[in-house]
Structure 1
Amino acid sequence: MSKQWSGSRRLRVVVGIASAALVAGLVSACGGSSESDSGTVYFGVSGPKSGPSAEYGRLWQQGFDLALDEINAAGGINGKKVELKWEDSQSDPKQTVPIATKFVGDESIIAELGDFSSPASIAASPVYNRGKLVQYGFTNSAVDFTKAGDYSWSPSITLDVFQERNAQWVSAKAKKVSVVYLETDWGKQAFKFFEQSAKEKGVEIVYSSPILPDSQDFRPVLIKGRDANPEAFVHLGYGPDGALIVKQLRDVGYGGQFFGGQNTPQFISLAGAAAEGDIVNGVFTAADTNPKVVDFVKKFRAKFNVDPGDFNVYAYDAINVLVKAAEHGGATREGVLKGLREVKDFDGIGLGTFAFDQQTRRPNGVKPIELILKNGAFVPTGNK
């Protein structure tokens, strides 16, 4: 392929994307705000159904399905059925932007859910804000996500809060730690907040290293972390890499306390016995005795024959929040925004009853809970 042909092709692609965005904006401005004449209300979902993060899309789908069963059985939104229009982004910033353009241009979509990773969502935020379509990044913990504009909202606990609590719980177990973190914008930000909080709490980081998200062999890094003689090992990342980390830590002979991974079935099954005693940040546990949670767990088990985890709950709660916002403000793009601004009693399985802070567009005062892996399930440690 010649450089001249390649450059011409790139120019055509750029022009095509710009034209599509302009058309989408015009369509949205002309008809996107009106109440749908059909018998169905749609939310768009930008999320991973394939690629490295596909497991999270699968967990989302379970949470969405249960929520939609209940919502539609109860009459939907003002008698209209609620459905999803899902686009597989692979949680890739290169794909979330054209998906955002497509959703903005589809006037039947009254709000968007996703994407999974904060970088993937942040890349698309300008499109949603220009198109005046609510972007509900319900798993986006990066502090800067909601700073994109009035249409970017998230119920997720932010990284600074997560890592302050993480450091607090680590400090109760160890004063010297080795840390590995994903070499991504999210991972670097997580490490920055953990490092700051650890120092404040008297925890010394004796070794730290970034890790590549797509690597399969972390042992050279882990051996260095082991040889620094830490009292605990901290992993700042996701479930799949966390499972490899803890298994390989045990393989190289480290038997100390591990903090890392995620409250997902995939992490538990991949890590196996190596993760027993692992401690993580979470928002939910199936062992919760709150009657509302007990009922949710019962219904989830009946439908999927497994216990729910954090990411099922994130998705289940997200649909319910947007439906309540639309019921309050109207099943339109402006109506969803109005509902998010005005409703004071959103009710979630993971967050309890909450309202959004109108400056940060995140819930106020929400804290993660400390969970420990015992006999193949994450349960509360009882620590605050």
Structure 2
Amino acid sequence: MSKQWSRSLRVVVGIASAAVVAGSLSACGNSSDSSGDTVYFGVSGPKSGTSAEYGRLWQQGFDLAIDQVNAAGGINGKKVALKWEDSQSDPKQTVPIATKFVGDNSIIAELGDFSSPASIAASPVYNRGKLVQYGFTNSSTEFTKGGDYQWSPSITQDIFQDRNAQWVQSKAKKVSVVYLETDWGKESFKYFQQFAQQRGIEIAYSSSILPDSQDFRPVLIKGRDANPDAFVHLGYGPDGALVVKQLRDVGYNGQFFGGQNTPQFIQLAGAAAEGDIVNGVFSPSDTSPKVQDFVSKFKAKYNTDPGDFNVYAYDAINVLVKAAKFGGATRDGVLKGLREVKDFSGVGLGDSFAFNQQTRRPDGVKPIELLLKNGAFVPTGSK
């Protein structure tokens, strides 16, 4: 899921053009050195800045997965470890990080970045260096169009917003919508507007909101006064928590769709978000043995329930490890595995999938509808 798809596409394209030049300087990056005892994945992601919470959730999922992989023998006897560079999910920082990773022959694949523009800016470097860029939270439809080395299991915004409109339709005929004033937010709203119209949902009011704003009440009052049956927020956890709390402050008590399935959103939003409905990929209350095994191990290590972004990271490690076991612990081997393995699986990805070789995303992975009930997100079908 893309964060801060916030700078204009012109800036991203400019950075991407510069990245081609940067990538050409990494002549040693076209092959990987698998002669050591450790196999490395590079991580380009936020450990500081406004998106640092997502990096923290990633780290938990990565560490649990790597502990399990190494306990089971690693990749064909080699231990797995990470080389992490803090990008702050900023396109200006991801390009030099990509150049560094491509030039480090011990790295057999890259994970990240968190935001789609941050990833897209660096894609030319990874393509030129023939290093898989596994953008496992990149929901922009544009990310995997970058080249043969861009892969993602993330559900794209067209699919998210189709399902979002479906769930909104079950609760409301008229809605007010706020969305982030970012390229990602605009893309999300474009798709939601399209599918809302197809389903006969009236958008009585819509407005963008600035990602860094702390006071959305002037916009929310206008949305409230449009007398919607529900309020839809297209954004992330921190801004979603502010939106729902301020909606309640201005007297709107109707159905809310928005925020994210993260501990941060639940904590920040508090009681104001009770009854919230979101797109998600995972719930700790899922009774399937695979999910409950993951939840029990996660809670034993971190003493808290996992959320979507823990699952994204955990699944990402396991997918790349399986690809490398199949194709070999090299850059070419990871690519071969992603192309040829037909039975990948994941806690949030289902029991079996293969990557579509044209889109380089899985076919058939769908979001699930989650309801915030008693401070926890549960599938809407749960009692």
Residue-by-residue CA offset, 1:98-135 (whole Å, 9 max, x unaligned): 11111111111000000111111111111111111000
> After TM superposition, where is structure 1 displaced by more than 3 Å over at least 4 residues in a row?
16-23
| AA at the equivalent of 1:65 | D
Aligned to 1:224: 222
Q: 1:21 offset after TM fit, Å?
A: 3.8
SS of the aligned residue for 1:311 comes to: helix
Residue-by-residue CA offset, 1:9-29 (whole Å, 9 max, x unaligned): xxxxxxx988864332x1113
Given that residues 152 and 360 in structure 2 are in contact (C-alpha distance below 8 angstroms), is that contact kept between their aligned partners in structure 1?
Answer: yes
Aligned to 1:103: 101
Given that residues 43 and 85 in structure 1 are in contact (C-alpha distance below 8 angstroms), is that contact kept between their aligned partners in structure 2?
Answer: yes
Residue-by-residue CA offset, 1:301-342 (whole Å, 9 max, x unaligned): 000000000000000000000000000000110100000000
Written as runs of structure 1 = structure 2, the 5 A alignment for 1:1-384 is 21-24=23-26, 26-29=27-30, 32-33=31-32, 35-352=33-350, 353-382=352-381
Given that residues 41 and 81 in structure 2 are in contact (C-alpha distance below 8 angstroms), is that contact kept between their aligned partners in structure 1?
Answer: yes
SS of the aligned residue for 2:372 comes to: strand
Given that residues 43 and 113 in structure 1 are in contact (C-alpha distance below 8 angstroms), is that contact kept between their aligned partners in structure 2?
Answer: yes
Mapped to 2, the partners of 1:17 and 1:293 lie a distance apart of: 40
SS of the aligned residue for 1:320 comes to: helix
Aligned to 1:5: none
Residue-by-residue CA offset, 1:210-259 (whole Å, 9 max, x unaligned): 11111111011101111111110000000000000000000011000000
Query: Which TM-score applies when normalising by structure 1?
Result: 0.93
* Matched length: 364
Mapped to 2, the partners of 1:214 and 1:188 lie a distance apart of: 16
CA RMSD of aligned residues (A): 1.3
| AA at the equivalent of 2:362 | P
| AA at the equivalent of 1:335 | G
Mapped to 2, the partners of 1:18 and 1:229 lie a distance apart of: 50
Mapped to 2, the partners of 1:231 and 1:78 lie a distance apart of: 56
Mapped to 2, the partners of 1:252 and 1:299 lie a distance apart of: 42
Q: 1:71 offset after TM fit, Å?
A: 0.3
| AA at the equivalent of 2:207 | S
Q: 1:141 offset after TM fit, Å?
A: 0.6
Given that residues 157 and 367 in structure 1 are in contact (C-alpha distance below 8 angstroms), is that contact kept between their aligned partners in structure 2?
Answer: yes
Mapped to 1, the partners of 2:373 and 2:340 lie a distance apart of: 41
**Structure index of larger Rg:** 1
Percent identical among aligned pairs is 82
Given that residues 20 and 125 in structure 2 are in contact (C-alpha distance below 8 angstroms), is that contact kept between their aligned partners in structure 1?
Answer: no
